């Protein structure tokens, strides 16, 4: 087993069966696929590979099947810089997805396979999580594993920053991913909580309720920590949360304020993985810190509001660039590519 990576992602490593369809079919409707191919995906793998492309030391905790899909997933990971030594192989069919991708880049995803659903943490996984600087968990992570991650973080003297992406609607997660009660714990424990429109509406009820509950959770966490955190910790600006709205931008909660930001306008080829790329960008700029180990990534002397906006802009650029190519990871950029993209839009 290798040394634990600085950032540990807990999530699926999957093969996406990609259909380029004429349209996303309505109920009882149809569509024609002009091309059918496959590519590597899975929320955990998408985030880990995105961070690796940005130059971060990232690892993945996952589980694949002992089949063709699992073999291909492991072979693909071996070609990246992601530490895949904690990706185990089981007897269940590998988790895989059918992705219907329309000409405008919008998509629908159907997932099957029991391999990731049967993931459970072992001692080496817990040790890696406890030793990491950042741990990422997706809502598709089995509830027992999400609870285990929370327990490890809460029991660690110098805990990793915890990032949670709700990822999917509650009805899709029940029996497969993180249960509502555990999502509640994560909402109050995560240093960064992220949810897309569909997932947020399913869990909170609507956007107004999401804004109210997220703000209340942040206030409760800050109040609970009042007097226990040093000035340096308080300046880090934790906790934070983001509601993502696709091409309509995002709503950001930080330091008691709620702000909206625009997404970048690009020619979208495929929106698959855009949310995962966005989360990776936030982890890079807000959570993983700079080369001096300063969590928050604001840059020396940068005001909090400036660091917040710069982080959102960077993450939005990572997501936008990824949308300009096919598949969940086809367009994931390097740090230099993101910087060039941003410089051209100043």
| DSSP assignment string, 146-215 | HHHHHHHHHH-SSPPEEEEE--S-HHHHTTTS--HHHHHHHHHH-SEEEEEHHHHHHHHSSHHHHHHHHH
Report residue 221 as tokens.
Answer: 């966490």
Residue 104 CB coordination number (10 Å) = 12
Query: Does residue 129 form part of some domain?
Result: yes
| Inside any domain, residue 196 | yes
Residue-wise pLDDT tens for the chain (346 aa)? 568 899 999 999 999 898 999 999 999 999 999 999 999 999 999 999 999 999 999 999 999 999 999 999 999 999 999 999 999 999 999 999 898 989 987 888 898 999 999 999 999 999 999 999 999 999 999 999 999 999 999 999 999 999 999 998 988 898 889 999 999 999 999 999 999 999 999 999 988 999 999 988 888 877 776 644 433 343 355 689 999 999 899 999 998 889 999 999 999 888 889 999 999 999 999 999 765 445 554 333 344 566 899 999 999 999 999 999 988 888 999 999 999 999 999 8
Residue partners of 294: CB distance under 8 A and separation at least 6: none
Distance CA 242, CA 196 (A): 8
- Give whole-number Cα distances, 98 to 16, 18, 63, 110, 232, in Å: 6, 6, 19, 5, 46
- Do residues 251 and 259 lie in contact, with contact meaning Cβ atoms separated by under 8 Å? yes
81: domain range? 7-343
- Read off the tokens for 148: 């285990």
Q: Which two tokens mark 321?
A: 């660039």
Q: Give pLDDT, residue 157.
A: 93
Residue 1 resides in a domain: no
38 domain-assigned: yes
**Integer distance in angstroms from the first to the last C-alpha of the chain?**
44
Sort strands 161-165 and 192-196 into parallel, antiparallel or unpaired. Answer: parallel
18 domain-assigned? yes
How far apart CA 117 and CA 224 sit, in angstroms, is: 34
Q: Distance between CA atoms of 125 and 122, rounded to whole angstroms?
A: 5
The number of distinct structural domains making up the chain is 1
Domain holding 129: CATH number?
A: 3.40.1190.20
Query: Which helix (H) or strand (E) segment is 96 a member of?
Result: strand 96-101
pLDDT for res 256: 81
User: What is the bridge-based pairing of β-strands 240-244 and 250-254?
Assistant: antiparallel
Q: Does residue 154 fall inside a structural domain?
A: yes
| Number of residues written out for the chain | 346
Residue pair 271/99 in contact (Cβ under 8 Å)? The answer is no
Kindly report the pTM of this predicted structure.
0.89
Residue 238 lies in a domain: yes
pLDDT computed for residue 228 by the predictor: 44
Residue 252 bridge partners (DSSP): 242, 259
Does some domain include residue 266? yes
């Amino acid at each position: 087993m290798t040394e634990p990576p600085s950032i540990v992602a807990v999530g699926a490593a999957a093969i996406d069966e990609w259909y380029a369809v004429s349209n996303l079919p309505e109920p009882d409707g149809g569509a024609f696929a002009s091309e059918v191919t496959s590519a590597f995906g899975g929320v955990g793998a998408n985030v880990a590979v995105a961070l690796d492309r940005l130059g971060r030391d990232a690892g993945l905790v996952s589980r694949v099947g002992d089949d063709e899909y699992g073999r291909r997933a492991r072979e693909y990971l071996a070609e990246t810089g992601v530490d895949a030594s904690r990706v185990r192989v089981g007897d269940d069919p590998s988790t895989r997805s059918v992705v219907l991708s329309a000409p405008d880049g919008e998509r629908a995803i159907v997932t099957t396979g029991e391999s990731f659903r049967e993931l459970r943490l072992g001692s080496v996984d817990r040790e890696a999580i406890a030793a990491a600087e950042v741990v990422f968990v997706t809502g598709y992570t089995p509830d027992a594993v999400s609870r285990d991650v929370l327990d490890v973080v809460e029991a660690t003297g110098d805990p990793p920053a915890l990032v949670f992406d709700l990822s999917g609607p509650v009805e899709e997660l029940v029996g497969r991913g993180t249960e509502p009660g555990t999502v509640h714990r994560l909402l109050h424990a995560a240093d960064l909580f992220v949810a897309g429109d569909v997932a947020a509406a399913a869990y909170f009820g609507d956007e107004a309720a999401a804004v109210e509950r997220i703000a209340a959770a942040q206030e409760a966490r800050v109040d609970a920590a009042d007097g226990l955190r040093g000035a340096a910790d308080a300046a880090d600006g934790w906790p934070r949360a983001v509601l993502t709205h696709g091409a309509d931008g995002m709503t950001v909660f930080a330091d008691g304020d709620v702000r909206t930001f625009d997404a970048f306008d690009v020619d979208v080829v495929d929106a698959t993985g855009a949310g995962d790329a966005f989360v990776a960008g936030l982890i890079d700029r807000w959570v993983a810190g700079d080369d001096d180990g300063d969590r928050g990534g604001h840059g020396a002397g940068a005001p909090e509001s400036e660091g917040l906006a710069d982080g959102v802009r960077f993450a939005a650029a990572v997501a936008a660039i990824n949308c300009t190519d096919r598949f969940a990871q086809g367009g994931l950029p390097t740090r230099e590519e993101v910087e060039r993209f941003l410089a051209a839009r100043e």
